[in-house]
Amino acid sequence: MSQPKKSLTGLTAAEITAAVGLKERYRGRQIFEWIIKGVRSFEEMKNLPAQLREQLETSFTLMSSTVEVSSSADDNTAKIAVRLNDGRLIEAVLLRDENDRATACLSCQIGCAMGCTFCRTGRMGLKRNLSSEEIVEQYFHLRSLYGEISNIVYMGMGEPFRNTDEVIRSVKFFTGADGLGMSERRITISTCGVVEGINKLSRENLQVRLAVSVVTADPVMRSEIMPVTKTNSLTDLKAALLNYQKHRGRRITLECAVIRGINDSSAAAAQLADWADGLNVNVNVIPWNPASEIDFQEPDPAGLEAFCRTLERKKIPNTRRFKRGRGLNAACGQLATELEKDG
Ligand code: SF4
């Protein structure tokens, strides 16, 4: 079988110059400018000589992936299924807030090996890591379908710190002066608590935001529902977050999906608050989103209210998140491509 053509999307101008073997560096910059404008063919790159356009057409492609299905809901959430050039499917989501600010939620792996029991993606297992270019292409697909994007979160399928190098490469594409030049503060990397990755991010000179899906500070319960805890204990996780804050000085978001009978009591909220003591955090309290194949239940509203009140009493800032994207299975922990699930 012939090799698929290399995509130029996701490469900086210098990388395009090298990949195409161009003698004149400004040509690489011209190609890059066309790509970020969103052209769909090399033919449209009118300031390139015809011979170069032909060479590009023969040996390269503008996108290695295609949008298979896109669906949008009334609540400003849209989900796309993206077919990669090896035939696999991934999902990406666009969320629009009340100020009309659009956030792209990108996948970094096909499936996920972390096995969180409340997560649909976790049920797929890991198929493979995505390259930086495959991550970046999701952004361009969302942008061409739904318009300008102001923020990016790595909260789609996969654990970013199990694919750290490619995730950081993609962040550098989005933020670099030779890439899209976005503010690093508009990018959030979300982890289930992989200490090694947090430590690596502490050493990088990047001002991206960090979110940690902590869910519960009960070590026994957390080991049960988030197996990562067995090798990355809550004690080590807290030490890594303190170290991150020492180096980067940024407030950390703690994501807390609240599940009935698992972590929805006031005692669980108090335990979480005690664990977070000494950290500069905001807790995102998210009612867990039901998924047909997962035997958990969403919390009742009164329990959720009491949970937030306990955090407040303990002086832990928190934000109650409301249900979005449910109709599309695009809510937190619900991304799992139907065709890949059992594959
Ligand atoms: S919650 Fe995140 S880390 Fe856990 S299984 Fe799902 S995608 Fe993986």
Full DSSP string of 14-79: HHHHHHHT-SSHHHHHHHHHHHHHT-S-GGG-TTS-HHHHHHHHHHEES-S-EEEEEEE-TTSEEE
| Closest atom of ligand 1 to CA, residue 115 | 5
Residues of the chain with pLDDT under 70: 1-2, 73-75, 323-343
Q: Ligand 1 mean position to 325 CA, how many Å?
A: 17
Q: Tell me the sheet residues that pair with 79.
A: 71, 93
Q: Is the dihedral of CA 166, 167, 170, 175 positive or negative?
A: negative
108 lines ligand 1 (CB under 6 A): no
| pTM for this entry | 0.92
* Cβ neighbours of residue 126 closer than 8 Å, sequence gap 6 or more: 109, 110, 111, 112, 113, 158, 162
Per-residue model confidence (pLDDT) at position 329? 55
Residue 116 in contact with ligand 1 by CB distance below 6 A: yes
Q: Which CATH class is domain 66-341?
A: alpha beta
The CA-based dihedral angle spanning residues 117, 161, 213, 136, taken in that order and rounded to the nearest 10 degrees: -100
**Six-digit token string for 97:** 């807030």
Predicted pLDDT of residue 76: 84
Q: Which two tokens stand for residue 16?
A: 């395009």
Residue type for position 233? S
Q: Distance between CA atoms of 332 and 46, rounded to whole angstroms? A: 42
Residues 6 or more apart in contact with residue 43 via CB below 8 angstroms: 53, 57
Cα angle 183, 121, 105; round to 5: 20
Report d(CA 161, CA 201) in Å as an integer.
9
Beta bridge partners of 129: 109
Cα-trace Rg, the chain:
21
Alpha carbon 263 to its chain centroid, in Å, reads 24
Q: Residues 33-85: pLDDT tens digits?
A: 999 999 999 999 999 999 999 999 999 999 999 999 878 766 688 999 999 99
User: Ligand 1 centre and the CA of 116: distance in Å?
Assistant: 6
CA nearest ligand 1 atom 4, residue: 116
Give the closest residue (by CA) to ligand 1 atom 7.
158
What distance in Å separates the CA atoms of residue 301 and residue 119, rounded to the nearest whole number? Answer: 21
Considering the domain delimited by 6-61, tell me its CATH architecture. Answer: Orthogonal Bundle (1.10)
What strands, in cross-sheet order, belong to the sheet with 151-154?
Answer: 66-72, 77-83, 89-96, 102-105, 151-154, 187-191, 209-213, 252-258, 281-287, 318-320
Please give the structure tokens belonging to residue 101.
Answer: 């600010």
How far is the centre of ligand 1, averaged over its atoms, from the C-alpha of 50 (Å)?
A: 47
Return the pLDDT at 341. 39
Distance between Cα 56 and ligand 1 center (Å): 38
What's the DSSP call for residue 292? T
Asked if residues 223 and 245 have their Cβ atoms less than 8 Å apart, the reply is no
Please give the DSSP secondary-structure letter assigned to residue 114: S
The pLDDT value recorded for residue 250 is 84
H or E element: which one contains 258? strand 252-258
Q: What is the pLDDT of residue 333?
A: 55
Per-residue pLDDT, 335: 60
Instruction: Just list the catalytic residues.
Output: 91, 332
Residue among 155, 159, 225 whose CB has most ligand 1 atoms within 8 A, to mutate: 159
| Range list for CATH 1.10.150 in the chain | 6-61
**Which is the closest atom of ligand 1 to the Cα of 335?**
7
Q: Is the CB of 122 under 6 A from ligand 1?
A: yes
Atom index in ligand 1 nearest the CA of residue 122 equals 5
Q: Of 47, 34, 130, 118, which Cα lies nearest the Cα of 91? A: 130
